[in-house]
Amino acid sequence: MKRSKYLVVFLIGWAGVIHGEPTEKLPGPLPTLILTLSQVSYVAGEPVIAQLKLVNETSEEIPRHYVSDEHFARAQFFFMIFGSDGTEISRQIIPGLGTLQFYHLRPRVKPGEFLQCEQMFLTHKRLSNPGDPVKLLDPGTYQLRASVLWPGAGDDGIISNPVTLEITPPVGTDMEAAKLLETYGLGGFFNGTGGGQPAAIAELLSKYPASTYARYARSRLILDKTSWFWNTKRQNVSDTEKQQVDKLISDALAYVGEYPEMRLSDNILLGCARLQAMRRQKDKAVQTLERIAKDYPMSDVKRTSEQHLTEWRQPALEEIIKRMK
């Protein structure tokens, strides 16, 4: 792939073999990948939240290689950052489940339909050697594009529109907090690839709770914990874990109340609603989901929350709760 003066975001899906069948190159129309940012200017080291949308802007139905918005969000992402002179500054990989190819049952995207997700990544320079200190991007103007591999789209995949990204220097408390980011290389924590790093995150939140970076750390802690409980403890929660879930619900609601305009707050509300359902708080779960529809009409988790609403409203929720007992 040719280098350009763009920060290129690759969503790399698995293009391997399913049930012994080779990857199929499909003729016909391709979806459009649209990239937007939650803001234009970011403090150096501040995680960037990118909104990615795959839209069928053609007049024909096309094969869908991601089953749902949540599946699309779990694709493998590859980030390359280029400076204004075309020099590659950073390359980041966010591992995911990949793109599943459905040969026997391939859903289709009708004209006007789309899939969407949000992804978070940190703007830092390339490491010359493993273990080198992480260095944040210098202040300046960058551009970014996104690309997703897609059957029939060629080696470059489907490339998005370019978006300008402005990096500003940290000042005040952010300057001290940024040093901590570089010391521990916390970018991996923010985008979900660096493990828990509990000591480093605790230090960041303890020393610099008002910093730009702290709210991202808090959101990641909440999202990771809600996802873990929902995916592993949905039907088997111990008494001790029930207390932890209740505390997590409280923390999630407090966070959204403090940062209602923060991207990912809608995702946090979805996780909160799921935990409320786990705790058999059916009315509260429905109210939380309705809040997503009301306060975040363009949310990337809107359709998932609507599906839960259909399932969890009376009498469906009562049946779910019976099965969880």
- Residues 248, 121 share a domain: no
What would the pLDDT profile of 130-180 be if each residue is shown by its tens digit?
A: 556 667 888 998 888 777 767 677 766 778 888 888 999 999 999 998 888
In a shared domain, residues 122 and 249? no
35 and 131 inside one domain: yes
Tell whether 16 and 128 lie within a shared domain.
yes
- Inside any domain, residue 131: yes
Compute the average pLDDT of residues 207-233: 89
Output the domain CATH number for residue 298. 1.25.40.10
Question: Is 140 or 104 the better-scoring residue by pLDDT?
Answer: 140
For 105-133, write each residue's pLDDT tens digit: 456 778 888 877 777 777 776 655 555 66
pLDDT given for residue 314 in this prediction: 64
> Cβ distance 187 to 172 under 8 Å?
no
Is residue 202 in some structural domain?
A: no
User: Pick the residue with more confidence: 188 or 236?
Assistant: 236
pLDDT digits (tens, 9 = 90+) for 246-296: 999 999 999 999 999 888 899 999 999 999 999 999 899 999 999 998 998
> Domain containing 145 — which CATH number?
2.60.40.10
Query: Tokens standing for 108?
Result: 């289709």
Assess whether 222 and 164 both reside in one domain: no
Q: Is 148 helix (H, G, I), strand (E, B) or coil?
A: strand
Q: Is residue 104 part of a domain?
A: yes
Please answer whether residues 44 and 166 qualify as being in contact, where contact means their C-beta atoms are separated by less than 8 angstroms.
Answer: no
Distance CA 39, CA 319 (A): 42
Query: Residue 76 domain-assigned?
Result: yes
pLDDT of residue 94: 58
Q: Does one domain contain both 222 and 165?
A: no
β-strand partners of 52: 35, 117
Question: H or E element: which one contains 231?
Answer: helix 214-232
Distance CA 273, CA 258 (A): 18
Same domain, 117 and 220: no
Q: Which of 258, 250, 301 is nearest to 279 (CA)?
A: 250
Is 252 a domain residue?
A: yes
In a domain, 123, yes or no: yes
Instruction: Specify whether 17 is located in the same domain as 139.
Output: yes
* HSE, side-chain direction, 13 A CA sphere, residue 121: 28
Q: In the 8-state DSSP scheme, what is residue 92?
A: E
Q: Are residues 98 and 241 in the same domain?
A: no
Q: Is residue 75 part of a domain?
A: yes
Kindly state whether residues 218 and 297 are assigned to the same domain. yes
pLDDT given for residue 71 in this prediction = 65
Instruction: Report how many domains make up the chain.
Output: 2
Cα–Cα distance between 188 and 308 in angstroms, integer? 31
- In this prediction, residues 200-228 reach a mean pLDDT of 87
For 209, the 3-state DSSP assignment is coil
Question: What is the structure's pLDDT at 273?
Answer: 95
Q: What torsion, rounded to 10 degrees, do the Cα atoms 192, 194, 198, 204 define?
A: -80
Judge if 148 and 292 occupy the same domain.
no
Alpha-carbon gap, residue 198 to 203, rounded angstroms: 8
Domain range for 35: 7-169
Q: Are 160 and 153 in contact (CB under 8 A)?
A: no
The span from the CA of 194 to the CA of 177, in Å, is 18
Domain end marker among 148, 169, 190 = 169
- Single out the residue of 13, 15, 24, 25 nearest to residue 103, CA to CA: 24
**Non-local CB neighbours of 138 within 8 Å, separated by 6+ positions:** 44, 167
Residue 312 belongs to a domain: yes
Residues 28 and 130 in one domain: yes
Helix, strand, coil content of the chain in percent (nearest 5)? 35, 20, 40
